[in-house]
């Protein structure tokens, strides 16, 4: 069902955990499957210097959390806001159609964490 890249990201996820005193935290869930994803960002001078996640969900949700947190590290806030679930799925070499919604959680959680950062800053 999953390709090797997805299986590897699921079995050896990167950036699992929490960031203490994170600058932005985003929590999202999917009502139909009940899965939950939380993303923590550390941001300095508008650049994401660290990202971690806690995900209670399926293999695709964990793989996309891992990949998305890897992708946003080093990005500016503006660049990270442009990260779509499609780009995360492409980086993973594709996901089964019925698992695309899992990658949407990663995009939404990052956007929410950035919104949290921006509202704290304002
Ligand atoms: Fe719910 Fe994958 S089945 S996030």
- pLDDT tens figures, 17-48: 999 999 999 999 999 999 999 999 999 999 99
Ligand 1 atom nearest 35 alpha carbon: 1
Distance from residue 31's CA to the centre of ligand 1 (Å): 10
pLDDT score of 122 = 86
pLDDT at residue 57, rounded to an integer: 94
Q: Compute the distance between CA of residue 72 and CA of residue 94 in angstroms, rounded to an integer.
A: 19
Q: How far is the CA of 51 from the centre of ligand 1 (A)?
A: 21
Atom of ligand 1 nearest to the CA of 60: 2
> Which member of 1, 12, 18, 33 is catalytic?
33
CATH 2.70.150.10 is the classification of domain 4-121: no
- For the chain, state the CA radius of gyration: 13
pTM of the model: 0.96
d(CA 75, CA 83): 10
Sheet containing 36-44, strands listed edge to edge, beginning at the edge strand earlier in sequence:
24-29, 36-44, 47-56
Q: What is the pLDDT of residue 3?
A: 98
* Residue 85, phi-psi category: left (phi > 0), alpha (psi -120 to 50), beta (remainder): alpha
pLDDT of residue 81: 98
CA atoms within 13 A on the CB side of 53: 34
Identify whether 102 is a catalytic site residue.
Answer: yes
**pLDDT tens per residue, range 40-98:** 999 999 999 999 999 999 999 999 999 999 999 999 999 999 999 999 999 999 999 99
Who contacts 90 (Cβ-Cβ below 8 Å, separation ≥6)? none
Between the CA of 33 and the centroid of ligand 1 the distance, in Å, is 6
- Is residue 8 within a helix (H) or strand (E), and if so which, with residue range? helix 4-11
């Amino acid at each position: 069902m999953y390709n090797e890249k997805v299986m590897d990201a699921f079995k050896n996820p990167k950036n699992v955990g929490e960031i203490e005193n994170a600058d932005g935290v985003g929590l999202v869930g999917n009502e139909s499957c009940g899965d939950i994803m939380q993303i923590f960002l550390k941001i300095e001078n508008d650049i994401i210097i660290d990202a971690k996640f806690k995900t209670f969900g399926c293999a695709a949700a964990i793989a996309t959390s891992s990949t998305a947190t890897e992708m946003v590290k080093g990005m500016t806030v503006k660049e990270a806001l442009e990260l779509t679930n499609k780009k995360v799925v492409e980086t993973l070499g594709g996901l089964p159609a019925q698992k695309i919604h899992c990658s949407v959680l990663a995009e939404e959680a990052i956007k929410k964490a950035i919104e949290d950062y921006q509202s704290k800053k304002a």
